[in-house]
Amino acid sequence: MNEIYFDNAATTRVDEGVVSLMAQVMREDYGNPSSLHTRGVQAQLLMERAQKQLLSALGAKGGQVLFTSGGTEANNLALFGGSDAKKRRGNRIVTTSVEHSSVLAAARELSRRGFETVEIQPESDGRISVEKLLDACNEGTILVSMMLVNNEVGTVQPVAEVAKKLRLKAPNALLHTDAVQAFGKIPFSVSALGVDMLTLSGHKIHAPKGVGALYLADKVRVTPLLYGGSQQRGLRPGTESVPMIAALGLAAKNAVDRLDDNRTNAQQTKDALIEGLSALPNVIVNSPNQNCSPFLLNCSAVGYRSETLLHFLASHGIYVSSGSACSKGAKSHVLAAMGKSVREIDSALRISLCETNTPPEATRFCDVLSLAMQSLRQS
């Protein structure tokens, strides 16, 4: 039985070239980049190469990259570090109700600590209204955090449009975007987006788990979450994992170099999925028709519980999820915010693609889902 892996928003298989590079760095370039001898210098050069690869992949004309343990740490550093650096300029933080939990939980903790936080509800397609978001901003707003691609339904948010208008409405605000599901999946540059901070994660683009980054534009200041070393200018102290950072740099370069071909392949598979699902009774697509990532499709097989469907599909070698992997199976706050019914939320499946998935895999998925709906008892 050939495996069909449709859970690439949760994590991706590590690229063979990336594995080879990591192994080489661990075996041969194992120095501490803070050491002053030759091996330390070699490790530092690898970090500098990864920094350049990321800035190039992001289309940055300046700025810097802080390497982190992943997207969650980068999001926390953006929210806690950004708000702390700006706290003398105001007290309001604006975000959306469809953010990843690492943004929402951080914003709610900042609210508990005395900041005024506002969560903007999406439209029925998951898209955030620029007008609603800007209406929530005032001169006391110091931070706006809005994801670029939603991790459950794939909606592409109007971050660039927000950036253009935010400076007039809230001149002291930093604009942060969580681009974990956008980087290497949709074309953008940080310059065109106009953001101050951007989060990305390695294991969504065929690098290993445990490495990510926070991009900071020129003159953007954050305070650190950790203390105790001068690594990364004291903003993210601790000995850097050079093999992971080198891997992230190569994976980022690969993702952007192959972006057009990867998007074409993903869209072909997504189109086949939509065609196949449209023929199944009681299946609705929750992802929007427009302004959506070609790598993500969310649907509901109404009347059948997600967990039951996941196990049936897995028994046939097909792997999908019911929503964000970080939610550990909890009901989707994204679909709830979009106004979906309880039955639709309880039966949701998130199908997330990579460039190696194919239309025949989409056809087989639809056939097995149809078989599941004929075989399983409705809830």
Catalytic residues: 326
What single-letter amino acid sits at 205? Answer: I
Q: Is the dihedral of CA 352, 353, 358, 359 positive or negative?
A: positive
Q: Which residues of 238-266 are buried (b: 16+ CB within 10 A; e: fewer)?
A: eebbbbbbbbbbbbbbbbbeebeebbebb
DSSP 165-230: HHHHH-TT-EEEEE-TTTTTTS---HHHHT-SEEEEEGGGTTSPTT-EEEEE-TT-----S--S--
- Residues 102 and 80: their CA atoms lie apart, in Å, by 11
- Residues 15 and 79: their CA atoms lie apart, in Å, by 31
- Among 210, 218, 183, CA closest to 199: 183
- Among 345, 339, 366, CA closest to 276: 366
Residue 339 in tokens: 């106004």
- Residues 356 and 333: their CA atoms lie apart, in Å, by 30
In the chain, the largest separation of any two C-alpha atoms, in whole Å, equals: 67
Q: Is the dihedral of CA 354, 158, 271, 316 positive or negative?
A: positive
In the numeric block, the tokens 């599901």 are attached to: 181
Provide CB contacts within 8 A for 289, sequence distance 6+.
none
DSSP 80: I
Is 222:82 a contact under the CB 8 Å cutoff?
Answer: yes
CB 129: neighbour CB atoms within 10 A? 13
- Residues 355 and 50: their CA atoms lie apart, in Å, by 23
